[in-house]
Structure 1
Amino acid sequence: MAPIPPADLRLPADVTADVVDRRTGIFDHGPAAANLALPWWNRTLTDAGLGRFVVTADPNGTAEVQLTRGSLFKLADTIGPDADDDAYLNLLWHVLAWGSGPRIRNNRRRIAAFIDPAHARANVALLRQSVEHARSGNTADSYRTLVRPGRASIPYLGPSFFTKYLYFAGNGAASHACVILDARVATRLHHAGWRSLPPRRMNWYTDTYVAYCELLARWADELSTSATPVAPDQIERALFGNSA
């Protein structure tokens, strides 16, 4: 059975204290160029025959010096029903770079999933489908599209990273249902009282992800006032920062 949070689970006070302003704490949040492995990304993409892509801290050409959530929200404007596959891949490389920071992790293997043209088409089709579901508010199908029992639908693109992609596909809308879930956030929630949620596990059930998004939406609503609305991603950022 998928782990579901207790119905009466409350937002911990220390997390509440760390909820940031959405403009400065969300849209302006991201690593500076020096804290991104940009030379590695561009060298590795070129070596894989994907040199048409350039990963940068300024993907929108607006003179940014850090890769922020806001710049990724704007980059997500380039994907949609009429966009070509490269738009989806360009967003993917930048989301992975943002999430990885200076670390390489499994990114070489993730890139490898898009080298063969047939595999690339199939995998981008999964990204397209998941984004369509996410933007329509169908959190379950958006997540389910990219996960299989015991593995990811796209090799090495597991929930900790593909939920980032689904989140940024919302273009920064406060009402967007999909929120980032990674091991740090899961560990924090486990210590906060969601004991059935395995700490550090990164292949969560679809129902667990849906319940997580609904929990953060409830907590955001409880914190919101008419003068100061709170969005679920502000809770996610606070949970990440407070992680044990």
Structure 2
Amino acid sequence: MTELSELSPPEWAVPSLPRRTAVEEHRIAVPWQWWREAITRRALPGTPPSTPSLTRADVWAPAEDVFTLLWRTLAWGSGYSLRLNHKRLDSVAADVASAEALLTEAAAESRRDPERAYALFRPDGRTRIRDLGPSFFTKFLYFAGGGAPGHPCLILDRVVATALREHCNWESLHRKGYWPPETYQRYCDLLARWAEEHGCAADELERTLFAGEPKASS
């Protein structure tokens, strides 16, 4: 297991843009009509996305229920790649009450205990909501923080994990997941430490790691 206390971010991953520009305004185009039709047809609770794009700030804006937050999160995280969303929606529709209880508890835990919040979605190595793996449920845990710069849960996906392996020397981190809950906690703690050292929010570092090393101009 890699000793994370010795790791530091590469120079290009240290945020240089204002958080508002780099994080809050991070915008993704979404097929909102598809989401409206798919959610309405299944008679699922919550409000579907209703605009052709969503920023991170749009996703974490206060929602009247956890399902509205989930639909925004899935739409933003998927963009126009809808491959598994039918199965995700079907899984929620099969037991709405259980999904609501899980999402509500996970959202509350996300504000204080990343490891436990993560484990709620994947206890004993199985995914509670079909095809909602870490790359997506860590997005939900992140957005449940309402955009607070100190929110302890962060997005972890294949792109970020690969950047941490290849550019930050976290050699024991699997590129794809499924990562165990303790690995997610270690990840959140690592970026929180880096954020404190560099005077920024942890999600700014997640954003720069996701964007990757800028290509040299010719």
- State the TM-score, normalizing by the size of structure 2: 0.90
In the alignment, what sits opposite 2:35? 41
What is the letter of the counterpart of residue 99 of structure 1?
Answer: G
1:197 to 144, 148, 173: 173
In the alignment, what sits opposite 1:163? 138
Q: 1:39 to 1:21 in 2, by over 3 A?
A: same
Q: 1:241 to 1:93 in 2, by over 3 A?
A: same
Separation in 2, partners of 1:51, 1:214: 34
2:81 to 100, 103, 109: 103
* 1:232 lines up with 2:199 in the alignment: no
1:150 to 125, 147, 157: 125
CA drift of 1:19 comes to 4.4
In the alignment, what sits opposite 1:25? 22
Separation in 2, partners of 1:123, 1:173: 25
Q: 1:243 to 1:167 in 2, by over 3 A?
A: farther
CA drift of 1:27 comes to 1.2
CA drift of 1:43 comes to 2.0
What is the letter of the counterpart of residue 48 of structure 1?
Answer: R
Q: 1:207 to 1:52 in 2, by over 3 A?
A: closer
Q: 1:51 to 1:208 in 2, by over 3 A?
A: closer
Separation in 1, partners of 2:26, 2:212: 16
Separation in 2, partners of 1:26, 1:174: 10
In the alignment, what sits opposite 1:82? none
The answer for unaligned runs of 5 or more in structure 2 is none
**Contact 1:184 1:243 (8 Å CA) reproduced:** no
Aligned-residue CA RMSD in angstroms?
Answer: 2.0
Separation in 2, partners of 1:243, 1:43: 38
Separation in 2, partners of 1:187, 1:149: 25
**Contact 1:139 1:177 (8 Å CA) reproduced:** yes
What is the letter of the counterpart of residue 117 of structure 2?
Answer: S
**Contact 2:46 2:67 (8 Å CA) reproduced:** no
CA drift of 1:47 comes to 2.7
Separation in 2, partners of 1:121, 1:156: 18
Give the helix-richer structure, 1 or 2. Answer: 2
**Contact 1:56 1:94 (8 Å CA) reproduced:** no
In the alignment, what sits opposite 1:207? 182
* 1:66 lines up with 2:44 in the alignment: no
Q: Secondary structure at the match of 2:54?
A: coil
Q: Secondary structure at the match of 2:151?
A: coil
Q: Percent identity?
A: 37
1:11 to 9, 12, 16: 9
**Contact 1:4 1:208 (8 Å CA) reproduced:** no
Separation in 2, partners of 1:190, 1:52: 38
Q: 1:19 to 1:235 in 2, by over 3 A?
A: farther
**Contact 1:4 1:211 (8 Å CA) reproduced:** no
Separation in 2, partners of 1:222, 1:239: 16
In the alignment, what sits opposite 1:61? none
